[in-house]
């Protein structure tokens, strides 16, 4: 399976068990995620696939099609679950405030993949749902929904705040590179 097909497959199927087994520190379905301490994401970090046969390989502009997403870590920093990001490729014309547009590139926008409710790992959905426009990010634990076209604002469910954005750019090879810190605190906050 090539990288592009895997991107669609991994998120369309949404097999949370597979994610949980492959990503250290990922959610428990009923409780707060166990968060490991480690090196935090920093400007200049390249994002790499978090799981699957491409795990550890750079995420590039060609890794996915529009309206697809992948889970990614900064290279060599997967020991800190707080670094996990969901990288979405959207229609650039549909990205709007409060998205930090300067922190996107060719429709690629990255957010924390840690739900702000109780810390589950969020997923990308291509399917329309009653409460949410297409496309959207959702959380499998308690139905939280986020709008990736508008700064991952909360569309529904119990999350108290948006998913923090991780600013990125594409380098000369088309690889996704971090340009700054997350826009806010990650996951559960007291």
Interface ranges with ligand FES (CB under 6 A) = 115, 117-118, 120, 139, 141-142, 144, 157-159
Q: Would you list the DSSP string of 32-57? A: PPP----PPP-TTPBEEE-SSTTTTS
Q: Whole-number minimum distance, CB 189 to ligand FES, in Å?
A: 13
Q: Whole-number minimum distance, CB 101 to ligand FES, in Å?
A: 26
Judged by CB, which is closer to ligand FES: 137, or 177? 137
Judged by CB, which is closer to ligand FES: 97, or 189? 189
How far is residue 13 CA from its own chain's centroid? 16
Q: Would you list the DSSP string of 68-134? A: EEEEEEETT-TT-GGG-EEEEE--GGG--TTS-GGG-BTTEEEEE-B-TTT-PBPEEE-S-BTTBPS
The total of other beta-carbon atoms located within 10 Å of residue 129's CB is: 14
Alpha carbons within 13 angstroms on the beta-carbon side of residue 108 total 25
Q: Whole-number minimum distance, CB 50 to ligand FES, in Å?
A: 18
Judged by CB, which is closer to ligand FES: 70, or 115? 115
Q: Whole-number minimum distance, CB 36 to ligand FES, in Å?
A: 18
Judged by CB, which is closer to ligand FES: 107, or 143? 143
Judged by CB, which is closer to ligand FES: 46, or 117? 117
Q: Whole-number minimum distance, CB 174 to ligand FES, in Å?
A: 32
């Amino acid at each position: 399976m090539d990288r592009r097909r895997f991107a669609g497959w991994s998120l369309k199927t949404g097999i949370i068990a597979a994610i949980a087994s492959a990503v250290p520190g990922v959610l428990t379905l009923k409780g707060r995620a166990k968060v490991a301490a480690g090196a935090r994401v920093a400007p200049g970090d390249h994002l790499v696939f978090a799981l699957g046969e491409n795990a550890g390989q750079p995420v590039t502009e060609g890794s996915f099609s529009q309206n697809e997403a992948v889970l990614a870590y900064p290279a060599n920093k997967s020991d800190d679950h707080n670094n996990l990001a969901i990288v979405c490729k959207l229609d650039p014309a549909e990205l709007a405030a409060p998205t930090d547009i300067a922190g996107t590139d060719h429709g690629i926008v990255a957010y924390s993949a840690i739900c702000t409710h109780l810390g589950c790992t969020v997923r990308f959905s291509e399917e329309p749902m009653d409460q949410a426009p297409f496309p959207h990010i959702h959380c499998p634990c308690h139905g939280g929904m986020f709008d990736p076209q508008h700064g991952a604002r909360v569309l529904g469910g119990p999350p108290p705040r948006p998913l923090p954005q991780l600013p990125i750019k594409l380098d000369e090879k088309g690889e996704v590179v971090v340009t700054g810190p997350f826009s806010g605190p990650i996951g559960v906050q007291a």
